[in-house]
């Protein structure tokens, strides 16, 4: 025996157990995980890190001058206050806003991944509080992950979650796919993460099995790392943001050669008659042939033709990564990927057709559990107003101004108070200097946080929240058989409290404690959430553990329904009896609905729409600002695994040797990335694994402005969102376009500024108070 008292727990980066040895937390992945996630190792160092928020804090300007717009937000001092004081202050402020402006002036979108665990899920907690206690709030819709696809897919194919989760399974890829055209790849760093926590990471093994069987993977991406080595992929580099043109070139080649599946198109699709003239150039005089595509995407025309003509007769899977739609006109590659798959005629066959977002997260491509733990009831929102999630700065900066979204003419609300728990807009949003300006115009920003993120540093009221490791919960995902009893691994840090406790105390002060708690403590809530799983299993005649047995055992195992190919396979077998949930019941190559909106940035069929941001003399390089490999978004950036991946304490930017040489940049040197919006420092890795003309800087390094008082300060740590553009994908979806922008890069020759992102603000001043 190792002498460690192991306790079961779960996280978005995997199910695990942990225990203490010689004063250190030791973490080990679930025994059935074939490919555990290194991100788990951020936890031990993070638990007691100085970056944690240890006591309630109020911004000095807000405390002294009261609520209201304030240009010092983000550059002010903080004053430590007791829990009773801060809760009284906040309850009073919530009541003031409710009374003076109404709850439609509260923004509670509170987007963010927060932690695994069905009960303490911070977004559910904040929404339940705002609904049941305050009476409602302005919400946000869709996600930063799938901003464009979640809106366009229901028009053309079906619900995004259903499509990405269950139609193409990894099992089917391993057993049936002959060619996988992976637009944007399927990087393991993405599938290592799954909301709710999974006990098995199967993606690497599945791709290895497919490759060993002889499946051909074609990685279409500016970054070699977007498929694992085990896939033995051919790497086809293309200019970032031009996948739609390449898809059109492949489609044109197939159609011109008469190799498209006309029978499939006629039986299962609508709108070919409107799209084909565009593809062939009849409607606009420009055939979208391989030569045309080559001039846009940089892939030689011969290569496009050879690839296209190698596909017919094979079981071909077209996959499109989330990242492609996180860019201007991001709807188009999603749509055109589906049309290309339709042209190849394999939608609905095992391991063939369209795998939207396969591998974008760990819970895609899996079988579904037969029974599920319940989610926390969020109550009813009396406010109908919402924004597409990535329009937050626009909302705060332009109250009362009109905008368009998915066929609707909408108006931005006038927001006075913003409440955030479990998210980090200074990580996830674009053009951070614009976001700072936006937050400076409101009356009050409230943030519950584990750590002093940049969002916490812009808040007026900062409430220290426990980390998942400091509380009990139930971990489960609808697509992983293991339901986990998440047991506390440590005492709360400092005065940190659970979000549930904080909201319960506020509810009591606002006279609505029962409406929020229903008289239950945490353990009673866990029993309530577990009960539907127990009942469903019993109804199905399956052996099931009682809650107490489950808690004692540490986990329960739920059987899964076998892979049937999901709704696309059912549609293929019986298109009349199992129609798609689209207006026509078929695959919409042309959408009357979308065409009816009259958007030039998202017309009625997929099209190549040139981006407005292209490399120029001032900003000659494409920047890919993608997901990081050593942390989940910005979470636990101060943890050991994330810190070990940095160089000279800064985020690592990959640059091709040709571009590095042209700028006199050496491997390991600190560089400055800049464009018209902002600048940041990073450390260069010179590598041929990124194509020439492109640099890559992942998201998630905590925003660390050199001088927080300036309007447009440089981030010294390497947060690419100071550079990215804050515009919607199109008027259809208004999704986040943070993945791509253009920059210049130069060697940084000045004195290296220190990194202060992980040092709490005004630490010395606080100690003196
Ligand atoms: P996280 O870093 O996960 O990022 O954005 P998101 O806001 O989800 O933030 C979660 C925060 O919740 C952390 O600060 C963590 O400390 C806090 N937290 C964790 N647990 C708890 C808890 O129990 N209670 C409370 N109160 N807080 C908690 C992610 C978003 O970023 C996403 S999903 C995507 S896909 C986008 N991707 C990109 C991109 O590709 N490129 C760019 N440029 N930008 C992006 N931004 C988006």
- For the stretch 522-575, pLDDT in tens is 999 999 999 999 999 999 999 999 999 999 999 999 999 988 999 999 999 999
H or E element in which residue 446 lies: strand 444-449
Residue from 11, 149, 364, 422 whose mutation best tests the ligand 1 pocket (most atoms within 8 A of CB): 422
Q: Whose CA is nearest to atom 46 of ligand 1?
A: 428
Q: Does any domain span residue 744?
A: yes
Q: State the pairing for strand pair 269-270/694-696.
A: unpaired
**pLDDT for the residue 763:** 65
Q: Does any domain span residue 30?
A: no
What residues are paired with 182 via a beta bridge? 219, 319
Q: Which tokens belong to 124? A: 């559910």
Q: What phi and psi, each to the nearest 5 degrees, are found at residue 107?
A: -100, 115
Q: Which tokens belong to 43? A: 């936890």
* 741 and 648 share one domain: yes
Which atom in ligand 1 lies closest to the alpha carbon of residue 143? 33
| Domain that includes residue 445, residue range | 57-144+372-557
**pLDDT for the residue 764:** 36
- Asked whether the beta carbons of 219 and 230 are under 8 A apart, the reply is no
CATH of the domain at 621: 2.40.40.20
Q: Which of 111, 268, 335, 412 is catalytic?
A: 111
Q: Which of 13, 62, 78, 113 is catalytic?
A: 113
* 730 and 689 share one domain: yes
Residues of the chain below pLDDT 50: 764-769
CATH of the domain at 465: 3.40.50.740
For residue 123, give Cα distances in angstroms to 107, 131, 193, 408, 750.
13, 12, 18, 26, 42
The C-alpha angle with vertex 56 and arms to 448 and 521, in degrees rounded to 5, equals 60
Is the CB of 424 inside a 6 Å radius of any atom of ligand 1? yes
* 377 and 416 share one domain: yes
Is the CB of 639 inside a 6 Å radius of any atom of ligand 1? no
Residue from 450, 469, 653 whose mutation best tests the ligand 1 pocket (most atoms within 8 A of CB): 450
Instruction: Please tell me the distance between residue 576's alpha carbon and the centre of ligand 1 in angstroms.
Output: 42
Q: Does any domain span residue 49?
A: no
Q: Does any domain span residue 37?
A: no
* 77 and 203 share one domain: no
- Asked whether the beta carbons of 578 and 570 are under 8 A apart, the reply is yes
Q: Whose CA is nearest to atom 20 of ligand 1?
A: 114
* 683 and 640 share one domain: yes
Buried b (16+ CB within 10 A) or exposed e, 260-291: bbeebbeebbbbbebbbebbbeeeeeebbbbe
pLDDT tens profile 721-733: 999 999 999 999 9
* 643 and 767 share one domain: yes
Residue from 223, 392, 423, 741 whose mutation best tests the ligand 1 pocket (most atoms within 8 A of CB): 423
Per the structure, the count of domains in the chain is 3
Which residues have a Cβ under 8 Å from the Cβ of 425 and sit 6 or more positions away? 111, 112, 392, 435, 455
**DSSP assignments along 729-742, one per residue:** S-TTT----TTEEE
* 219 and 354 share one domain: yes
Q: Does any domain span residue 44?
A: no
Could you confirm whether 83 is annotated as catalytic? no
Could you confirm whether 113 is annotated as catalytic? yes
| Radius of gyration over every alpha carbon of the chain, rounded to an integer in angstroms | 26
Instruction: Please tell me the distance between residue 149's alpha carbon and the centre of ligand 1 in angstroms.
Output: 19
Q: Whose CA is nearest to atom 12 of ligand 1?
A: 422
* 174 and 304 share one domain: yes
* 570 and 547 share one domain: no
H or E element in which residue 101 lies: helix 83-101
Q: Does any domain span residue 16?
A: no
Q: Whose CA is nearest to atom 8 of ligand 1?
A: 112
- Dist CA 423 CA 122 (whole Å): 9
CATH of the domain at 219: 3.40.228.10
Last residue of a domain, one of 557, 577, 602: 557
* 159 and 294 share one domain: yes
* 112 and 196 share one domain: no
Q: Does any domain span residue 6?
A: no
Is the CB of 346 inside a 6 Å radius of any atom of ligand 1? no
Instruction: Please tell me the distance between residue 312's alpha carbon and the centre of ligand 1 in angstroms.
Output: 42
Which atom in ligand 1 lies closest to the alpha carbon of residue 633? 2
pLDDT tens profile 290-343: 999 999 999 999 999 999 999 999 999 999 999 999 999 999 999 999 999 999
Q: Whose CA is nearest to atom 42 of ligand 1?
A: 738
**pLDDT for the residue 743:** 98
* 689 and 735 share one domain: yes
Is the CB of 741 inside a 6 Å radius of any atom of ligand 1? no
């Amino acid at each position: 025996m190792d002498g460690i008292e192991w306790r079961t727990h779960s996280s978005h980066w995997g199910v695990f157990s942990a225990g203490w040895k010689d004063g250190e937390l030791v973490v080990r992945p679930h025994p059935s995980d074939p490919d555990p996630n290194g991100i788990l190792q951020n936890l031990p160092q993070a638990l007691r890190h100085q970056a944690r928020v240890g006591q309630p804090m109020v911004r000095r300007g807000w405390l002294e001058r009261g609520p209201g717009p304030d240009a010092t937000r983000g550059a002010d001092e903080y004053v430590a206050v007791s829990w009773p004081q801060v809760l009284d202050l906040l309850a009073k402020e919530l009541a003031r806003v409710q009374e003076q402006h109404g709850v439609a002036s509260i923004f509670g979108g509170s987007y963010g991944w927060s932690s695994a665990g069905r009960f303490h899920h911070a977004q559910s907690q904040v929404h339940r509080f705002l609904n049941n206690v305050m009476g409602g709030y302005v919400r946000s819709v869709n996600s930063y992950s799938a901003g464009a696809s979640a809106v366009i897919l229901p028009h053309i194919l079906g619900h995004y979650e259903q499509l990405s989760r269950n139609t193409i399974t990894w099992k089917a890829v391993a057993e049936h796919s002959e060619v996988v055209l992976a637009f944007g790849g399927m990087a393991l760093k993405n599938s290592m993460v799954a909301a709710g926590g999974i006990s098995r990471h199967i993606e690497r093994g599945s791709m290895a099995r497919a490759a060993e069987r002889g499946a051909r993977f074609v990685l279409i991406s500016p970054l070699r790392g977007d498929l694992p080595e085990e896939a033995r992929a051919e790497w086809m580099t293309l200019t970032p943001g031009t996948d739609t043109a390449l898809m059109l070139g492949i489609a044109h080649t197939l159609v011109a050669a008469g190799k498209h599946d006309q029978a499939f198109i006629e039986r299962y699709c609508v709108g070919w008659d409107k799209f084909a003239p565009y593809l062939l150039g009849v409607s606009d005089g420009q055939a979208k042939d391989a030569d045309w595509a080559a001039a846009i995407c940089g892939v030689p025309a011969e290569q496009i033709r050879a690839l296209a003509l190698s596909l017919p007769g094979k079981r071909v899977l077209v996959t499109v990564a989330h990242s492609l739609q996180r860019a201007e006109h991001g709807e188009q590659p999603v749509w055109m990927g589906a049309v290309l798959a339709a042209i190849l005629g394999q939608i609905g066959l095992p391991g063939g057709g369209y795998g939207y977002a396969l591998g974008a997260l760990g819970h895609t491509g899996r079988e579904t559990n037969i029974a599920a733990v319940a989610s926390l009831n969020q109550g009813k929102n009396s406010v109908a107003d919402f924004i597409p999630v990535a329009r937050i700065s626009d909302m705060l900066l332009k109250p009362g101004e009109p905008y368009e979204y998915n066929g609707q003419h909408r108006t931005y609300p006038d927001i006075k108070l913003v409440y955030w728990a479990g998210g980090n807009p200074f990580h996830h949003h674009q053009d951070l200097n614009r976001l700072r300006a936006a937050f400076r115009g409101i009356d009050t920003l409230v943030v519950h946080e584990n750590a002093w993120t940049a969002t916490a540093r812009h808040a007026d009221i900062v409430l220290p929240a426990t980390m998942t490791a400091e509380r009990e919960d139930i971990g489960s995902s609808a697509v992983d058989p293991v339901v986990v009893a998440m047991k506390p691994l440590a005492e709360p840090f400092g005065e940190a409290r659970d979000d549930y406790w904080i909201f319960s105390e506020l509810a009591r002060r606002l006279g609505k404690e029962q409406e929020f708690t229903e008289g239950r403590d945490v353990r009673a809530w866990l029993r309530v959430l577990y009960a539907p799983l127990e009942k469903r299993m019993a109804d199905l005649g399956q052996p099931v553990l009682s809650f107490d047995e489950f808690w004692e055992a540490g986990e329960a195992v739920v059987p899964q329904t076998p892979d049937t190919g999901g709704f696309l396979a059912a549609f293929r077998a019986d298109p009349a009896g199992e129609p798609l949930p689209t207006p026509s019941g078929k695959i919409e190559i042309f959408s009357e609905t979308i065409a009816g909106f009259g958007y030039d940035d998202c017309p009625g069929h997929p099209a190549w729409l040139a981006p407005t941001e292209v490399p120029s003399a001032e900003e000659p390089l494409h920047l890919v600002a993608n997901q990081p490999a050593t942390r989940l978004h910005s979470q636990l950036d101060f943890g050991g695994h994330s810190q070990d991946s940095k160089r000279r304490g800064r985020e690592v930017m990959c640059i091709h040797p040709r571009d590095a040489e042209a700028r006199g940049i050496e491997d390991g040197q600190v560089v400055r990335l800049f464009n018209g919006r902002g600048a940041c420092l990073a450390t260069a890795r010179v590598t041929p694994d990124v194509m020439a003309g492109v640099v890559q800087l992942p998201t998630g390094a905590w925003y660390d402005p050199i001088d927080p008082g300036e309007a447009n300060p440089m981030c010294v740590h390497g947060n690419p969102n100071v550079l990215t553009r804050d515009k919607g994908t199109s008027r259809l979806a208004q999704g986040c376009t943070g993945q791509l922008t253009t920059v210049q890069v130069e060697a940084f020759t000045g004195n290296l500024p220190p990194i202060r992102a992980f040092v709490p603000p005004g630490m010395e001043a606080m100690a003196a108070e």
